[in-house]
């Protein structure tokens, strides 16, 4: 099923699997990048001489720590915290924090590895990192979340800094969690170091558009993919998975650009609303009241809730996976293509399995992989860092225009790179090669460090 690797690259991959046992998501993310790199090594022999692939696959630093905290019953709880500082060749370690019970080293490493190339594609000076904990914020009180975040930051703070490592949010980490973490960082260091975290609230150093950026950016990428085929989002029927931060602002921008979103989901089930998703209601349920998407059906009698349903079985022209890794497999991809889906852009990180990716590429539909399509979030984090560094704050339209320009630029770069390397229209190849070359050149220039 997997694409054959160049012999030398295959040996490197086998060593990586043996050295990092049990980290399946990390293996998957690495393999997908390595599959694109044969022609790059042929064009740049110094990358092989300098062992750039071997070096780029080994994190610069990995931190694993105990996070003790007390729940509301005063019972002691222990979680495990992570920060993988993967690559700092082109800038400070930059990438989100994920709080989810499934988190272990293999997930943080896959996310950190993807982040290296995604951040390079933005053209901004940001290296790759990722962190998180196996903490489940679901069902916890605000006070429990606060105590957890304070304990997490009590250890993490010594590894961060404006010139070192700048985290942000990811699954389970949004404005509330970043607030508690920023408060604890400030208390521990006695420094109002705004640039140490991004995704901050607007009243305390945050940037307008950061909340919307990943979803909006993914839709801009989709708009560009369709434009390259002489098509547009106007009137398209869309399905979005998830109902968190990325899903919500993906739906918002799709609707603004004239598309009709008829389904979204969470890990329990799927909402189908053929009249079009009522986004104000989703925002209220998810952002304000922290409820489940199932509750949507109680407000709209013509909407259907499918407990345990599969969102990819809802026929659509445009699909935007926006929940989590490996949420769309080969069978789902065949169902989508069979139902007439013409374009997929990934708001989530690695949501499509390798078999699913192959189905999309073979069917020659427009397929935008996460490291290109969801780069708008981290790019706007870098815009937040720019504003913090100059003690400035920009308006919404000005910031959104910058995001749009960055996403349009990523589309152009990935398109042109794919073409240059003989894979016209293949954004997987374009994204992997363009991201890799930028980081590899910097690593060569910085010497053996």
In the region spanning residues 87 to 126, those forming contacts with ligand NDP, defined by CB under 6 A, are 100, 102
Is residue 167 involved in binding ligand NDP (CB under 6 A)?
no
Closest to ligand 2IT by CB, 37 vs 378, is 378
Q: Which is nearer to ligand 2IT, 115 or 426 (CB)?
A: 115
For residue 302, the 8-state DSSP code is T
- With a CB cutoff of 8 Å and minimum separation 6, the contacts of 226 are 232, 233, 343, 366
Calculate the dihedral angle through the C-alpha atoms of 85, 86, 88, 93, rounding to the nearest 10 degrees.
-40
Check if the beta carbon of residue 271 is closer than 8 Å to that of residue 284.
no
- Least separation in angstroms between CB 228 and ligand NDP: 22
Choose the stretch contacting ligand 2IT; rule: CB under 6 A; options: 89-97, 139-147, 298-306, 417-425. 89-97
In this structure, what token pair is assigned to residue 210?
A: 């950061």
Total of residues contacting ligand NDP (CB under 6 A): 25
**198 interacts with, out of ligand NDP, ligand 2IT, none, CB within 5 to 8 A per kind:** ligand 2IT
Shorter beta-carbon distance to ligand NDP: residue 59 or 370: 370
- Is-contact 334 313, C-beta < 8 A? no
What's phi and psi for 95, nearest 5 deg? 165, 165
- List binders of ligand 2IT among 114-153 (CB under 6 A): 115, 118
Which x/- pattern, by CB under 6 A, does the window 339-368 give for ligand 2IT? ----------x-------------------
Interface with ligand NDP, residue 323, by CB under 6 A: yes
| Torsion angle in degrees (nearest 10) through CA of 352, 168, 100, 296 | -80
**Judged by CB, which is closer to ligand 2IT: 95, or 242?**
95
26 Ramachandran zone, left/alpha/beta (phi>0; psi -120 to 50): alpha
Per-residue b/e over 406-422, b at no fewer than 16 CB within 10 Å?
bbeebbebbbebbeebe
Q: Is 28 near ligand NDP (CB under 6 A)?
A: no
* Closest by Cα among 15, 183, 202, 25 to 104: 25
Residue 378 as a binder of ligand 2IT (CB under 6 A): the answer is yes
**Interface region with ligand NDP, contact rule CB under 6 A, candidates 49-57, 166-174, 332-340, 384-392:** 166-174
Tokens 């089930």 sit at which residue? Answer: 269
The minimum distance between CB 284 and ligand 2IT, in angstroms, equals 24
94 interface partner picked from ligand 2IT, ligand NDP, none, CB below 5 to 8 A per type:
ligand 2IT
C-alpha span between 368 and 338 (Å, rounded): 19
Residue 214 interacting with ligand NDP (CB under 6 A): yes
Query: Which region, judged by CB under 6 A, interacts with ligand 2IT, from 45-53, 88-96, 187-195, 276-284?
Result: 88-96
Residue from 129, 172, 179, 205 in contact with ligand NDP (CB under 6 A): 172
State yes or no: residue 335 binds ligand NDP (CB under 6 A). Answer: no
As measured in angstroms, the least distance from the Cβ of 404 to ligand 2IT is 17
Beta-strand ranges (E) seen in 71-125 are 76-87, 92-99
Question: What are 132's strand-pairing partners?
Answer: 82, 98
Cβ proximity of 3 and 34 under 8 Å: no
Among all residues, which ones are annotated catalytic? 130
Of all residues in the chain, what percent are helix, strand and coil, respectively (each to 5)?
Answer: 50, 15, 35
- Alpha carbons 310 and 446: distance in angstroms, whole number: 47
Q: Which does 211 bind (CB under 5 to 8 A by kind): ligand 2IT, ligand NDP, none?
A: none
Q: Does 85 bind ligand 2IT (CB under 6 A)?
A: no
Which residue number has the CB closest to ligand NDP?
A: 244
Binding-site size for ligand 2IT (CB under 6 A) equals 12
Q: Find, among 3, 134, 50, the residue nearest to 439 by Cα.
A: 50
Interacting stretch for ligand NDP, rule CB under 6 A, among 40-48, 49-57, 158-166, 344-352? Answer: 344-352
Q: Which residues of 353-369 are buried (b: 16+ CB within 10 A; e: fewer)?
A: bbbbbbbbbeeebbbbb
Structure-derived torsion over alpha carbons of residues 184, 179, 242, 103, reported in degrees to the nearest 10: 0
Among 246, 316, 344, 407, binds ligand NDP (CB under 6 A): 246
Residues 247-276 touching ligand NDP, rule: CB under 6 A, are: 247, 266-268
Instruction: Report the residue from 91, 95, 179, 351 that binds ligand 2IT according to the rule CB under 6 A.
Output: 95
Q: Is 435 in the site for ligand NDP (CB under 6 A)?
A: no
Which residues ranging from 157 to 216 are in contact with ligand 2IT (CB under 6 A)?
168, 170, 198
Backbone angles phi, psi at 76, to 5 degrees: -80, 130
DSSP bridge pairs for 26: none
Residues that bind ligand 2IT (CB under 6 A): 94-96, 115, 118, 168, 170, 198, 349, 377-378, 381
Residues that bind ligand NDP (CB under 6 A): 100, 102, 169-172, 214, 242-247, 266-268, 322-324, 327, 347-349, 374, 377
């Amino acid at each position: 099923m997997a694409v054959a690797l160049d012999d030398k690259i295959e040996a490197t991959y086998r060593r990586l699997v043996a050295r990092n046992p049990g980290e399946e998501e990390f293996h998957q993310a690495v393999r997908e990048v390595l599959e694109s790199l044969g022609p790059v090594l042929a064009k740049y022999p110094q990358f092989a001489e300098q062992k750039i692939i071997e070096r780029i696959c080994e994190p610069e630093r990995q931190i694993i720590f105990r996070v003790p905290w007390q729940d509301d019953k005063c019972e002691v709880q222990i979680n495990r915290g992570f920060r993988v500082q993967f690559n700092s060749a082109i800038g400070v370690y930059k990438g989100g924090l994920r709080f989810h019970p499934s988190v272990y080293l293999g997930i943080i490493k896959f996310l950190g590895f993807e982040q290296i190339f995604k951040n390079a594609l933005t053209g901004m000076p940001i290296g790759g990192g990722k962190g998180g904990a196996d903490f489940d914020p679901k069902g916890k009180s605000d006070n429990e979340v606060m105590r957890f975040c304070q304990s997490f930051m009590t250890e993490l703070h010594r590894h961060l800094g404006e010139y070192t490592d700048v985290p942000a949010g990811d699954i389970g980490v949004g404005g509330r969690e970043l607030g508690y973490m920023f408060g604890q960082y400030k208390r521990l260091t006695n420094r109002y170091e705004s640039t140490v975290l991004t995704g901050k609230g607007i009243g305390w150093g945050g940037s307008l558009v950061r909340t919307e950026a990943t979803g909006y950016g993914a839709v801009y990428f989709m708009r560009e993919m369709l434009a390259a085929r002489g098509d547009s989002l106007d009137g398209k029927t869309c399905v979005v998975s998830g109902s968190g931060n990325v899903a919500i602002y993906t739906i918002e921008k799709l609707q603004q650009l004239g598309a009709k979103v008829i389904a979204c989901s969470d890990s329990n089930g799927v909402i189908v609303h053929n009249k079009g998703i009522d986004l104000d209601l989703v925002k209220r349920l998810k952002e304000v009241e922290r409820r489940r998407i199932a509750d949507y059906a109680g407000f709209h009698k013509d909407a259907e809730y499918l407990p345990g349903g599969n969102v990819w079985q809802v026929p659509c022209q445009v699909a935007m996976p926006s929940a989590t890794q490996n949420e769309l497999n080969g069978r789902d991809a065949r169902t989508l293509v069979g139902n007439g889906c013409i374009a997929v852009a990934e708001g989530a990180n690695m949501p499509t399995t390798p078999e699913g990716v192959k189905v999309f590429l073979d069917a020659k539909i427009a397929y935008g992989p996460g490291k290109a399509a969801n780069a708008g979030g981290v790019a706007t984090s870098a815009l937040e860092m720019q504003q913090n560094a100059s003690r400035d704050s920009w308006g919404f339209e000005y910031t959104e225009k910058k995001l749009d320009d960055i996403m349009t630029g990523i589309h152009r770069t990935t398109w042109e790179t794919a073409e240059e390397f003989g894979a016209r229209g293949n954004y997987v190849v374009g994204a992997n090669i363009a991201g890799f070359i930028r980081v590899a050149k910097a690593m060569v220039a910085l010497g053996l460090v």
